[in-house]
Amino acid sequence: MPNTFPLVTRQPNDHIAYLTQPIAAIGLDRGIITTNQFVAHVSLVAKSLPTGKYAINLCENRYLFLVGFCAAIMRGDVNLLPPNKNTATQQELSEDYAECYIVHDGCDTQEGMPALDILSIALGSDNHGQEVIPLIADAQLACISFTSGSTGKSKPNLKYWHTLHRSSAINYEFMVPDCSCTVYQLATMPAQHMWGLETSVLLAMFSDICMSDAKPLFPRDIYNTLAMLPQPRMLVSTPVHLRALHASAASPEPLHSVLCATSPLTVELAKEIEEAFSAPLREVYGCSEVGSMAVRQTAVENSWLKFSGIHFSRQANTTTATAEHLPEATELQDVIQLQQDNRFVLAGRASDLVKIAGKRGSLFTINQTLLRYKGLEDGIVFYPQGANQVTRLVAIVALKDGVQKTDLLAFLKQHLDSAFVPRPVYVVDALPRETNGKLLRKSIDALHATLRKPR
């Protein structure tokens, strides 16, 4: 059948998912889920979906997200992957997309909207025959993801079936280039976020990756969950989670590899994680509109290796990304300096350039300097909203126990031009990061406004 592609390309007995905890409500035990079992679960859920065209997938359990995601695609519906689970966001989506319904596993839902709680469907029977894997039209709109809104309002990104399966094949080639057996993966980001979708959902559907249902947050939970998985094991995470893991001072078991994305990673942290896990750490570059585009082993490489099929074109300081599997060209926000052999380096963002006291600097470089400080838990340097002629950069930081702000300032004065040393520096318990590890500009501005108020 031309212009179609299977819902999954795994063999019937392949390990597609690993449940770290039993889901008693629907009869699933802890352990391996095979491709055949998975397709049976998808078929059952697809038959139970409410009438509609757009499925708002709010499942917290990653395996149930995968089942709901594929059930909607099997029926020809479109998955909506919201940046959060707020009922206000659900209401906004229902206003923007007619005939919405919600797929969830026990969360709060907007009153009056059709909804399916997957925990109400008995999936646990082992009496599955040989399931037939459906073919999906390449032109089918499979999902709409949304940008994080880190620099403004969240924007929709249409993902067609051809885009998903083709990009996933490319991602596997570059993200997992060195394993010929099934790798058991733990991810710390939500499946609704593009980085989580690409790695913890799509790789399991089309490559020899076994995803796990868990989404642990705290270091001890991450270590404990990794220990449950068969070997070889892979961790997919973000810099903020990896920084917390390193600070926990635990002695983890070796991994096959670590993947990291969503915000810049320092060379120092990359080296520390590689040493802790005795495994290569691959940092991935991408954006919500395009998906993953390049990779590097940050501990030993400065330049990025561009994925095959991705093409960059430059005009002045603007770089545009195109690919056969993408529906349209995307103008990238980053300043990219092309090199030979499909490599490039990042030089920050055009919007990151600041001019203070007659001197030009990059917020990207300044923040990389901040993140190298050993006493830092988390932090950001930014240009305050509505700054007038008297301009100074501002920092909001969370420091490790026993570390003083004066120690941080001394470090910054040693490594930055005096014009770019932030003043003031606010110390907080934690920064308002999203579940995907990103910091929204509106959240930083709101926190800054609170900190500026007289106490």
The arithmetic mean of pLDDT across residues 415-429, rounded, is 92
pLDDT (0 to 100) of residue 281: 98
Q: What is the pLDDT of residue 167?
A: 97
pLDDT above 90: percentage of residues in the chain = 74
pLDDT band at 262 (very low <50, low <70, confident <90, very high): confident
CA distances 64 to 41, 78, 212, 289, 415, Å, are 9, 17, 11, 25, 47
pLDDT tens digits, residue range 342-380? 999 998 777 777 888 777 788 888 988 999 999 999 999
Q: What is the pLDDT of residue 179?
A: 85
Return d(Cα 86, Cα 318) in angstroms, integer.
Answer: 35
pLDDT digits (tens, 9 = 90+) for 8-38: 999 999 999 999 999 999 999 999 999 999 9
Condensed to tens digits (0 to 9), the pLDDT of residues 272-313 reads 999 999 999 999 999 989 999 999 999 999 999 999 999 999
Q: Mean pLDDT across the stretch 374-402?
A: 85
- The most confident of the ranges 278-282, 315-319, 337-341 is 278-282
CATH architecture of 357-452: 2-Layer Sandwich (3.30)
Please report the pLDDT score of residue 247 as a whole number: 84
Binning the chain into helix, strand and coil, the percentages to the nearest 5 are: 30, 30, 40
Is the distance from CB of 288 to CB of 261 less than 8 angstroms?
A: no
Beta strands in 201-303 (DSSP E): 209-212, 233-237, 257-260, 281-287, 291-296
State the residue for tokens 């990219």: 336
At 93 the three-state DSSP class reads helix
- Which bin fits 96, alpha (ψ -120 to 50), beta or left (φ > 0)? alpha
The more confidently predicted of residues 331 and 127 is 331
Phi and psi dihedrals of 22, rounded to 5?
A: -65, 150
pLDDT of the residue at 147: 76
Instruction: State mean pLDDT over 74-80.
Output: 98
Does the model's pTM come out above 0.85? yes
Rg (CA), the chain: 22
Instruction: Please give the pLDDT value at position 388.
Output: 56
Q: Give pLDDT tens digits for 241-258.
A: 998 898 886 788 899 999
Long-range contacts of 352-357 (CB under 8 A, 24+ apart): 354/383, 354/391, 354/393, 354/420, 356/391, 356/392, 356/393, 356/419, 356/420, 357/419
pLDDT band at 1, cuts 50/70/90? Answer: very low
Q: What is residue 361's predicted lDDT score, i.e. its pLDDT?
A: 83
Give the tokens for residue 313.
């074109």
At 335, phi and psi to the nearest 5?
A: -85, 115
Question: Cβ distance 127 to 82 under 8 Å?
Answer: no
Specify the CATH number of the domain 4-347. 3.40.50.12780
**What is the predicted pLDDT for the residue at 358?**
74
pLDDT, mean of residues 165-185: 95
Domain spans of the chain?
4-347, 357-452
**pLDDT tens, 97-117?**
999 999 999 999 999 999 999
Query: What is the residue-averaged pLDDT of the chain?
Result: 91
Query: Would you state the structure tokens that stand for residue 372, as one six-digit string?
Result: 């190298």
